[in-house]
C-alpha cells in the first residue's frame, strides 16, 4: 500500500445493493449514498486516501464471534433452506428476516471490518471507515436487532490475540449488547456505550450498574440517557466520562460505532442530537485516538445518517466539505441541492421539565460511574 495512505474507506458495491425487505428500516444502500456525498463534497480525492473493496476473509475467522451451529443455520437461511430451528437462532423474525444473499452480505461486511483492523495493526493506515459494518447486537448464538454476524467482536478479538489493547466506543442510540456480552469479563477491551436508556428503547439493557465481571469489572461502561436528551446534556455526560477513561486505558486502537440514530429526526429512537453535538463528539474522539476504526451501525433517517457520516469523515480526514453542486440542479445520483439540504443542523434544545429531567438523569448516571469505575 502507498506509504502516504492514512485514511481508508472500505466499500463493496454488491452488498450496498442488498435489501432486507422493502419495509425493513435498515437500508444497506446508505453506503452507496455516503460515497456519493463524499464525491459531491470533494472529500475522497486526496493522496492520503484510498477506497478498498473488501475480499472475503477465511470463514474460520467468523468463529471468533459465533457458534458454528449458528453460522451453519445462517448459511442455510441465506440459501433459502427453511428449517424449524431457525427461530431459536433469531432468524426469520421481523427484525432479522431471511433473504437471498444474507450470509454473503454479513460475511463481506465483517471482512471489511476485519481487514481494516489488520491494516491498523500493521501500521498501514491511521483511520478506517466501514459504512457496511457495525452489527453490535449480534450474539454468539443468535441474530438480534438487524444484526447477523458481529463484525466488531470478530475484529477486536483478532487484535487482542495479537496482544493489542482496544477501546470500543459506541454512540449508537441503542445499547451495544452483543459487544458488551463478548468482552464483559476481560480487562483487555474497554467497552463504552452511550445510548438511550433501556427503560425506553431496545434492547432493554445497558444500565450504569452493568460494569463487567471478574477481570472485566470496571472495564464495561454504560451511559444510559433519558429520552429527549439534547446536545447539551449528551455532551455533558460524554465529556465527564469518555475522554478520561480512554486516556487512562491507553488503547492501541479505538473502535468507534458511529450510529446516527441518536439524531432528533431518527424514526426509531427518542434522543435529540443534531449535527452540532455529533461533530463535537467526533472531534474529541479524533484528538484522543491513536488509530481508529469506524463502523456505522444504526441510522434510519437515511438523509440525516449519510450527512452525519460525511461530516465525521471530513473531521477524521481534516477536510472541509465543499459542495461543488451548490446552486445547480441534478448533477449526481443523490440529487440536487434542494433535495439534499444542508449537512448541518440548526441548534436544537429540549426545554422545560423534560430538559430538567434529562439533565438530572445524566448527572445521576455520571455520579454513579465516577464513584465505581476504576482500573
* pLDDT of 336 higher than 60: no
What are the grid coordinates assigned to 124, written together?
A: 498501514
Model confidence over 260-288: pLDDT tens digits?
A: 999 999 999 999 999 999 999 999 999 99
Domain annotation covers residue 2: no
Is a pLDDT exceeding 70 seen at residue 1? no
Backbone angles phi, psi at 7, to 5 degrees: -125, 120
**135 in a domain, yes or no?**
yes
How far is 367 from 284, CA to CA, in rounded Å?
21
The whole domain housing 367 covers: 7-372
pLDDT reading at 133 higher than 80: yes
Is cis: bond before 203, omega within 30 of 0? yes
pLDDT for the residue 2: 57
CA distances from 102 to 52, 110, 329, 353 (A): 22, 12, 37, 45
CATH number of the CATH domain containing 351? 3.40.800.20
For 369, the 3-state DSSP assignment is helix
Q: In terms of Cα–Cα distance, which of 81, 96, 124, 136 is closest to 294? A: 136
What sections of the chain are H helices per DSSP? 13-16, 30-40, 68-78, 102-121, 151-160, 177-183, 231-249, 275-288, 302-316, 337-340, 352-372
The confidence band for 341, taking pLDDT boundaries of 50, 70 and 90, is low
The average pLDDT across 322-351 equals 67
Contact indicator for 110, 62 with CB cutoff of 8 Å = yes
Q: Is residue 340 part of a domain?
A: yes
CA distance 159 to 188: 10
- Give the model's pLDDT for residue 323: 84
158 lies in a domain? yes
In angstroms, the CA 359 to CA 346 distance is: 21
Kindly list the distances between the CA atom of residue 375 and the CA atoms of 162, 217, 220, 370, in Å, as whole numbers in the listed order: 22, 8, 11, 12
Q: In terms of Cα–Cα distance, which of 294, 283, 311 is closest to 255?
A: 294
Predicted confidence (pLDDT) per residue in 298-331, tens digit = 999 999 999 999 999 999 999 999 887 665 544 4
| CA distance linking residue 239 with residue 144, whole number of Å | 30
pLDDT at 190: 98
Residue 1 falls inside a structural domain = no
Q: Which of 137, 174, 175, 263 is catalytic?
A: 137
Q: Is residue 111 part of a domain?
A: yes
Apex 25 CA angle, 19 and 26, nearest 5: 55
The confidence score (pLDDT) of residue 331 equals 44
Based on the structure, what is the number of domains in the chain?
Answer: 1
Residue 342 or residue 182, greater confidence: 182
pLDDT, tens digit, 9 for 90 and up, residues 158-168: 999 999 999 99
**pLDDT score, position 334:** 46
Q: From CA 311, how far away is CA 299, in angstroms rounded?
A: 14
When pLDDT is averaged across residues 223-229 and rounded to a whole number, the result is 98
Catalytic residue status for 351: no
Give yes or no for residue 332 having a pLDDT over 80: no
Beta bridge partners of residue 233, listed in sequence order: none
204-217 pLDDT, tens digit each: 999 999 999 999 99
Local structure of 330: helix, strand or coil? coil
Tell whether the model's pLDDT for residue 140 goes beyond 50.
yes
Instruction: Encode pLDDT of 72-115 as tens digits.
Output: 999 999 887 778 889 999 999 999 999 999 999 999 999 999 99
Q: Is the dihedral of CA 75, 79, 84, 87 positive or negative?
A: positive
Chain mean pLDDT for the chain: 94
Q: Examine residue 189 and state whether it is found in any structural domain, yes or no.
A: yes
- Dump the DSSP string for 234-302: HHHHHHHHHHHHHHHH--SEEEEE---TTBTT-TT---BB-HHHHHHHHHHHHHH-SSEEEE-----SH
What residues contact residue 141 under an 8 Å CB cut-off, 6+ apart?
66, 67, 69, 70, 89
Amino acid at each position: 500500500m502507498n506509504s502516504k495512505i492514512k485514511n481508508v474507506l472500505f466499500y463493496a458495491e454488491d452488498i450496498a445493493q442488498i435489501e432486507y425487505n422493502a419495509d425493513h428500516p435498515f437500508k444497506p444502500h446508505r453506503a452507496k449514498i455516503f460515497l456519493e456525498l463524499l464525491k459531491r463534497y470533494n472529500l475522497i480525492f486526496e493522496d492520503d486516501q484510498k477506497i478498498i473493496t473488501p475480499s472475503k476473509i477465511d470463514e474460520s475467522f467468523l468463529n471468533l464471534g459465533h457458534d458454528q451451529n449458528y453460522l451453519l443455520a445462517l448459511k442455510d437461511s441465506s440459501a433459502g433452506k427453511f428449517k424449524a430451528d431457525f427461530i431459536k437462532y433469531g432468524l426469520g423474525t421481523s427484525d432479522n428476516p431471511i433473504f437471498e444473499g444474507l450470509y454473503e452480505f454479513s460475511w463481506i461486511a465483517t471482512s471489511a471490518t476485519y481487514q481494516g483492523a489488520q491494516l491498523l495493526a500493521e501500521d498501514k493506515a491511521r483511520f478506517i471507515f466501514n459504512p457496511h459494518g457495525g452489527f453490535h447486537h449480534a450474539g454468539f448464538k443468535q441474530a438480534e436487532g438487524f444484526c447477523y454476524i458481529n463484525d466488531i467482536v470478530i475484529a477486536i478479538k483478532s487484535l487482542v490475540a495479537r496482544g493489542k489493547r482496544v477501546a470500543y466506543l459506541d454512540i449508537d442510540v441503542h445499547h451495544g449488547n452483543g459487544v458488551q456480552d463478548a468482552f464483559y469479563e476481560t480487562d483487555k477491551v474497554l467497552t463504552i456505550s452511550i445510548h438511550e436508556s433501556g427503560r425506553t428503547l431496545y434492547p432493554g439493557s445497558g444500565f450504569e450498574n452493568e460494569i463487567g465481571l471478574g477481570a472485566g469489572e470496571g472495564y464495561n461502561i454504560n451511559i444510559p440517557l433519558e429520552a429527549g436528551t439534547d446536545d447539551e446534556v449528551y455532551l455533558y455526560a460524554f465529556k465527564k466520562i469518555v475522554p478520561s477513561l480512554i486516556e487512562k486505558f491507553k488503547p492501541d486502537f479505538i473502535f468507534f460505532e458511529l450510529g446516527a440514530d441518536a439524531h432528533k429526526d431518527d424514526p426509531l429512537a427518542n434522543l435529540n442530537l443534531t449535527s452540532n453535538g455529533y461533530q463535537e463528539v467526533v472531534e474529541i474522539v479524533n484528538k484522543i485516538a491513536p488509530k481508529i476504526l469506524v463502523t456505522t451501525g444504526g441510522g434510519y433517517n437515511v438523509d440525516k445518517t449519510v450527512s452525519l457520516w460525511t461530516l465525521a469523515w471530513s473531521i477524521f480526514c481534516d477536510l472541509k466539505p465543499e459542495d461543488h453542486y451548490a446552486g445547480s440542479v441534478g448533477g449526481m445520483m443523490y440529487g440536487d441541492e434542494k433535495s439534499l439540504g444542508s449537512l448541518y443542523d440548526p441548534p436544537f434544545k429540549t426545554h422545560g421539565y423534560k430538559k430538567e429531567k434529562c439533565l438530572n438523569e445524566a448527572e445521576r448516571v455520571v455520579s454513579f460511574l465516577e464513584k465505581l469505575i476504576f482500573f
